[in-house]
Amino acid sequence: MDFRDRHVVVTGGAGALGTAVVAALIEAGAVCHVPCFDEAEAKRFRLREHKQVTLTVAGNLAEEAAVGRVYQGIAPLWASVHIAGGFAFGPLREADIATIRQQIDMNLLSCMLCCRAAVQAMTGSGGRIVNVAARAALEWRSGAGMVAYTASKAAVAALTAALAEEVAKDGILVNAVAPSIMDTPANRQAMPKADHAAWPKVEEVAATILFLASPDNRVTRGAVVPVYGKS
């Protein structure tokens, strides 16, 4: 897949999956624009000094001003990959309104605002948008014990399908991936007794994202692609 000289935004690019996506994009020749919440997150990002990476300390992507700081001046924008989000575990009966709103803001609103900014930047030239949903977004019953997270990620899946239909005639292909639990150090620490070998590797999930974001993808739109590995 050839991304030479193509500009790609990767939200959540400093995380485990985001770093894998940025690394793969760099290898394919892309110029990556990575927003970070604060300076501390930016300093943790191991690819921050790469010549094909531009970091922006943007703040909260659930706010219009922060999203504007990310997308302003990127021309032409080829692809926008939306990995940024958050997770909350626990029964709904114990969830306070702050947690519920946080899940909606982190997972749905940030994705929707970035989709809107990407569409505005791509109108007239076309491009690719890839969102990140979750297995629970497709298999709702598996979301017991994390209802707010499940509902917000299911909304990301619906957003993806609806927006894909809306902008298809503009040459903008919108898709999403739906990972199961991924093999990351944080997940291994949280679930030390799980079958880690069954979990998809972040590099494997990144490869699916790259195809959907690439010029090689000419026809796929509105898909929410399961990336479960053996789990």
Per residue in 121-174, pLDDT (tens digit) is 999 999 999 999 999 999 999 999 999 999 999 999 999 999 999 999 999 999
Per residue in 159-181, pLDDT (tens digit) is 999 999 999 999 999 999 999 99
CATH of 7-227, one of 2.40.110.10, 3.40.50.150, 3.40.50.11890, 3.40.50.720: 3.40.50.720
Q: Please tell me the predicted confidence (pLDDT) of residue 58.
A: 96
DSSP string, the chain: ---TT-EEEEETTTSHHHHHHHHHHHHTTPEEEEEESSHHHHHH-TTTT-TTEEEEE---TTSHHHHHHHHTT--SEEEEEE-------S-GGG--HHHHHHHIIIIIIHHHHHHHHHHHHHTTT-EEEEEE--HHHHSGGGGTT-HHHHHHHHHHHHHHHHHHHHHGGGTEEEEEEEE-S-B-HHHHHH-TTS-GGGSPBHHHHHHHHHHHHSTT--S--S-EEEE-TT-
The structural domains of the chain, with segments of one domain joined by +, span 7-227
Q: Flag whether the pTM goes above 0.85.
A: yes
